Structure 1
Amino acid sequence: MTLQDGLPGHRAVPARQSLARRQIAAKPRSALILYGSETGNAQDVAQEIARLTERLRFDTVVIDLDSIDLRDLLKHTIIIVAISTTGQGEFPQNARSFWKILLSSQLRSGVLRRVNFTTFGLGDSSYPQYNVAHRMLHNRMLQLGAQLFCPRGEGNEQHPEGHNGEFRAWIVDLKQELLQHFPLPEGQNIIAEDVFLEPKWCLRISPDSTNGSSNNTPANGVSQETLTLDTPPANDILPIADSVIADLTVNTRLTPSDHGQDVRLLDFTLSSNIDYGPGAVAVVYPKNFPKDVNQFIECMGWQSMADTLLELVPTTDVSDLATYPPSPLRYLESTKRAFTIRELLTNYLDIVSIPRRTFFASLAYFTKEGNEEESYQKERVLELANPELIDELWDYTTRPRRTILEIMPEFPSVKIPWQYALNIIPVMRGRQFSIASGGSLKHLENGNTRVQLLVAIANPPNPIIKLRKRYGVCTRYIATLQAGQQLSLTIQPGYLNVSPDEVNSPVLLIGPGTGVAPMRSMIYERLEWARRSNSRKPSLLFFGCRNETADYFFRDEWQNLADQSLTVFPGFSRDQDKPRTYVQDLVRKEASLVYKTLKQDQGKVYICGSSGNMPKGVREALADVLKEHGQMTAGQASEYLDQMERDGRYKQETW
């Protein structure tokens, strides 16, 4: 029985009348919307589901999976989970602890029999383990007795409209199932779409604030009159919970100034002694630039409030915040309780993100119809908020990569109330970067921890709006960092799951571009393990870049390590005097050695780098090697690679 078939002994959707009997009449209708999200997509889906349940009169809480106890599932009328699959069929970072608890052998098969639930998964069918985390969680809940009230849904990023294509149809079905199984209380109707739902949290002027604004000077000490587009954000440390303070010692550009891409090597020192393994990531929390912040403040008409001290408070009286939906800024240290609008826009609100449909849905409540121009703007906002017109949103925002900062001046009549800034503007996410250091590079002589990052500064051309420059939110910030600055970093384990006993196996390391960062960490870690165990198996690195003289990263290091069981096979795709070569071409070129490593020596494969064509091409090349040297059919080669995945011998981390 496949994952999609469910588990034996469980019905796909329980009988409707049994659900009706199991409704809890003694307490209010409540919905717990859970998410496991790496990039924010599943969290956005959860928020949209929550808007539906609130309009259906459910008291709704939205929170990540790792922030609840299993017992919390029994306290609510319905449970809805939105979860993405990441890495090699892995759970997102904020869902891993919950999954471990769910797998406990101490849980009896009927422990969740009073839970009514459904799930929606987000995945990418170009990955071998498509939506597998979602399917495992869904089936485990069924195994523990939870009752399914709506068939699960799955979104595929390969759909022309991304995961929204399937989600748009699924949420319609969800609404019908909710109304069927959990009818509205007598005398109550669905809350109409044009009625504004008061958020759980809002901003208000702090009692500690002095009325009026400050001296109108940003935190970096530069006056508004002298700001330029390149004036960097202030060098204050963000109060991120569970983070460490990192001292930046080096921010070096590795590529020549005339090369098309700016790639940096950042070297951090952490006073804490933190261990990490190959594939670990450092989370960097970006900031917006003062000029952009000032522009947004002026666009919203918030000048008089920009520097007034505010606090984030619940919108309803509550005696115990532990039972109340969490704050949008719950990832900050609990001691951080007061903010200014300028501080929020600089450090915590992503005003240069591409707006999602839900952003326009929120804007619709603050449109006007006083004149013809205002009526047009309202009509346009409603078009962009309409899930049936997803192509319109795509053409207006996603395709030209228009940001919130850019679109708001096009709707001058729409003013977001500052009280709701945190509810409408997306919260800034930390960005993950694979750590490039490992082994002997991880610690300094004084015992401090060292973290190195290889970062490509995103500055893509705008395919539609030629005159507007595009930036990566975090990499633009990283490019301004100077040696001596301090940052808050969070270190996370990543998804490669490499253990010291793997030093006894040869490895194929395939990492083009900045994908070589975790490969470098792996190489140095394997050298350290080899010194301890007196075992040395070969490491074969397949590295691809554009030019041998421009972006052949760590070339000198590879030459110095050539006598330590490391062999590097470089390929260059843009050198004029060489044939265009990609990593998959290198795999085919070294077919006999690759086959020996995979089949005869039972080696392992690690693939890191950009998602899309590269990992597909590498897998096809490996299949070709097995067919050529192992006399396998296409089906046998594919099954061999699938088995390598199941055995943990084929791991992929792409972004």
Structure 2
Amino acid sequence: MCGPSDYLPFLKKGVKKTMLLIYEPSPSPSRVGTQGHALVGEIAGKTSGREKKERGDTDMEFGSFNNVASALLLGGVTVALSYYWFYANQTSTVKPTLTSSNVTNKTKAATPVKKATPPVKKQKTSDGPSVKILFGSQTGTAEEFSRKLKTEGQALGLDTELCDMENYKIEDLKDEKMLIFVVATYGEGEPTDNAKDFLEDAKREDHPDDLLSKVNFTVFGLGNKTYEHYNWMARQIDSAMEKLGGEAYVKGEGDDDSSLEDDFAAWKKDLWAPICSALGVKVDTSSLGQNVSRRFTIEMHEADSKDSYIAERKRDKHIVKKPNSDRTYDVKNPYMGRIRENRELHTEKSDRSCRHIEIEISKELAYEPGDHIGIYSENDDNIVEQACKRLNLKKEQAFTIREEGKIVLGPITLEQVLKQWCDLTNIPRKSFLQVMSLYAKSEEEKKELQRLSDDSQPQPYGDFIKDNHRSILEVLDYFKSVQMPLDHFLEAVPRLPARYYSISSSLRANPNSVHVTAAVVHFTSPTGREHYGVCSNWLAKQTVKEGRYPEVPVFIQKANFHLPKDKNTPIIMIGPGTGLAPFRGFIQDRMADTEQVAESLLFFGCRGSQVDYIYREELEEAQRRGVIQLHVAFSREDPNRKHYVQHLIEDKAEEVFKAIYEKKGIVYICGTCTTAWLESCRSTGT
């Protein structure tokens, strides 16, 4: 469970400041797919990084450059440039910088879909001491962890309150005795959307130094150690709170490159004792984590006719009503863009697929080349059918979901909820397995599920679930004696998040339009299951037919992967495969300039000139017009010789060296590079 209805989608002293920008998908070993991130830094200097997007779960549409190729590429850059640094006798100093089902049946006609709004005022949950739990969450994981803390605190007799950081300013917390922050790092070492304003306010210089002198607080951060700015947001919150007089205790950080859930469990194991001691509460914490909280109640409906719900669902295309045009379009209030073009970029000789998609957008959705577009998609019909069958319910079944008496969703059909609200193809979290164990009729299966969800034993979960990438539906089918009630299933299953893509266009060339270059993801899991990327495959099907322009909920996510403001700054773009996407936008932007701009070198790689050479005509035209110097490597063109992008860079090493050293150019890399290889480049002094 990733969040309530308010979160639903529509629902950088070495070489004279030579810049290196890397845009790459950040791997998520426990999830299918990736989320794009950028590392921004000066070669042989201080580097600022882009943290893994919190449990991103996007399909691998930012680039198809694997780790080996990444190492070879950066190795090639290192060897080539090192040679010229040595040749020029230049030196630089490197500074490393449960529980029954809450379902009732009522026979009545459905009312329009309603969306609950989160309460801002505190709701008293017990007579015990107050503890505020503030979350900064992008995809919902931090919020999910916060809900667990709320439940455990209540079990200890504390008055725990779940708080969205976007509803608070630092001044609001000055009289609180105990605060818990659960925050994710997002983007280029940035706060999540709902925590930006809070952090900005907390870092203001005009606050009294003792503003939070009464406050005790702790911070748990969600990040990824493979990237430089590990848990940047959590550390920023901690620093800001301490600067204002707050007293910190039991700090914690979670690493999504390893096991975020296990890190969280280890942290909170030592959390409650000092909190209770400080608040004067004497309780036994030994049983915490054994109970599973309940949030939802479901009211089943029988409509006047089955068709009335289907008709309503067709009228109201997405699970949440049309976006509010009076507020900024963002992750919580996406814009319904129309797909005006959707075409295949690969030739018939390719065994893969890559789509070029053009989406008509409002002028209010301004973006720069290098920014991201977030897209809300739907699960495939076959997945929905499998889920309905496993839940033993008909897809036409209508119901209303309530939380604390307030409507979260509904009336709504099961089909629509499973299509747009539930992330069914990713691996289950331990919390989901824990809920499953409650409904296992087989004692053997119950024990196995308890073993898999045991926080003190990470190995079983890693071996059975993570390494084999068993999806939620796959796990449900494996444990056949488990029959989860709908209300608890919908509580436990993660929400289907937005997928992020690198924008492959420029508004200067395409007013009121944003372009996406999406590799369609399909692979076979270790268990033999055919996995299809949710968003990429859904987008591939949203084609224009007979004047019908499919609508898709979208929003713009700003990034720090942009063209230099000084047009006299040379740029070197390195992007194999769909890593070309942001550079297409760069090229379009520079082609729109009437004044002369600095040189732009593009190193692009693909398998074959007649296979997957995407945007060939556009790139060759840009070269003819003198906008770019185009260098293309084909890895499968000559069966006797595999030619990769790093070979091109070695061939053009002197040219590249002059561009980035003598002319203070910027290097942009888009592909699956990691900080480890960036460090290998920096360590050589290049």
TM-score (norm 2): 0.72
Matches of 2:474 and 2:500, distance apart in 1: 25
Whether 1:415 aligns to 2:476 is: no
1:198 alignment partner AA: R
Match of 1:566 among 619, 628, 650: 628
1:214 alignment partner AA: K
Match of 1:247 among 338, 342, 364: 338
- Over residues 145-190 of structure 1, what are the superposed CA-to-partner deviations in whole Å (9 max), with x where a residue is unaligned? 221121x2223344xx33345434323222443344345357x877
Match of 1:380 among 418, 432, 448: 448
Please name the residue that 1:457 is paired with: 520
Matches of 1:434 and 1:99, distance apart in 2: 26
Matches of 1:437 and 1:544, distance apart in 2: 19
Matches of 1:384 and 1:73, distance apart in 2: 39
Matches of 1:587 and 1:620, distance apart in 2: 17
Please name the residue that 1:83 is paired with: 183
Deviation at 1:450, TM superposition (A): 0.7
SS at match of 2:523: coil
1:345 alignment partner AA: L
Higher relative contact order (CA 8 A, sep 6+): 2
Structure 1 stretches of 5 or more lacking a match?
Answer: 3-23, 222-232, 322-326, 330-335, 369-373, 444-448, 624-633, 638-655
- Over residues 169-222 of structure 1, what are the superposed CA-to-partner deviations in whole Å (9 max), with x where a residue is unaligned? 323222443344345357x877654444332x43324xxx4469826997799x
Deviation at 1:41, TM superposition (A): 4.4
SS at match of 2:228: coil
CA gap of 1:307–1:377, structure 2 versus 1, over 3 A, is same
**Comparing both structures, which one devotes a greater share of its residues to strand?**
2
CA gap of 1:635–1:564, structure 2 versus 1, over 3 A, is closer
CA gap of 1:192–1:99, structure 2 versus 1, over 3 A, is closer
CA gap of 1:486–1:214, structure 2 versus 1, over 3 A, is same
Please name the residue that 2:121 is paired with: none
Matches of residues 330-345 of structure 1 in structure 2 within 5 Å? 337-345=410-418
Please name the residue that 1:603 is paired with: 665
Matches of 2:500 and 2:294, distance apart in 1: 33
- Over residues 20-58 of structure 1, what are the superposed CA-to-partner deviations in whole Å (9 max), with x where a residue is unaligned? xxxx9x974343333334455444444444444343333
Matches of residues 17-416 of structure 1 in structure 2 within 5 Å? 28-74=128-174, 76-150=176-250, 152-158=251-257, 161-184=258-281, 193-199=289-295, 201-205=296-300, 209-210=301-302, 214=306, 236-239=317-320, 241-303=332-394, 306-315=395-404, 337-368=410-441, 374-416=442-484
Matches of 1:268 and 1:175, distance apart in 2: 49
1:459 alignment partner AA: H
Preserved CA contact (<8 Å) 2:523 2:532: yes
Matches of 1:148 and 1:213, distance apart in 2: 58
Preserved CA contact (<8 Å) 1:194 1:365: no
Matches of 2:640 and 2:195, distance apart in 1: 46
SS at match of 1:460: strand
CA gap of 1:465–1:242, structure 2 versus 1, over 3 A, is same
Aligned-pair RMSD on alpha carbons? 3.4
Matches of 1:135 and 1:315, distance apart in 2: 34
CA gap of 1:491–1:215, structure 2 versus 1, over 3 A, is closer
Deviates more, 1:453-462 or 1:417-426: 417-426
Structure 2 stretches of 5 or more lacking a match?
Answer: 1-45, 47-123, 324-331
Deviation at 1:271, TM superposition (A): 4.8
Preserved CA contact (<8 Å) 2:319 2:416: no
Matches of 1:411 and 1:173, distance apart in 2: 33
Matches of 2:265 and 2:271, distance apart in 1: 10
TM-score (norm 1): 0.75
- Over residues 515-546 of structure 1, what are the superposed CA-to-partner deviations in whole Å (9 max), with x where a residue is unaligned? 22112112222343x33xx3511222222333
Deviation at 1:599, TM superposition (A): 2.4
Matches of 2:452 and 2:308, distance apart in 1: 35
Matches of 2:179 and 2:432, distance apart in 1: 24
Matches of 2:309 and 2:620, distance apart in 1: 51
1:243 alignment partner AA: P
Deviation at 1:452, TM superposition (A): 0.8
Match of 2:539 among 473, 478, 483: 478
- Over residues 594-619 of structure 1, what are the superposed CA-to-partner deviations in whole Å (9 max), with x where a residue is unaligned? 2222222222233323354xx65466
Deviation at 1:257, TM superposition (A): 3.7
Deviation at 1:76, TM superposition (A): 5.0
Preserved CA contact (<8 Å) 2:213 2:244: yes
Deviation at 1:286, TM superposition (A): 1.6
Matches of 2:492 and 2:167, distance apart in 1: 23
Preserved CA contact (<8 Å) 2:344 2:355: yes
CA gap of 1:502–1:358, structure 2 versus 1, over 3 A, is farther
2:452 alignment partner AA: L
Please name the residue that 1:644 is paired with: none
1:513 alignment partner AA: G
**Comparing both structures, which one devotes a greater share of its residues to helix?**
1
Deviates more, 1:60-69 or 1:277-286: 60-69
CA gap of 1:174–1:540, structure 2 versus 1, over 3 A, is farther
CA gap of 1:47–1:410, structure 2 versus 1, over 3 A, is same
Deviation at 1:431, TM superposition (A): 0.8
Match of 1:432 among 490, 500, 506: 500
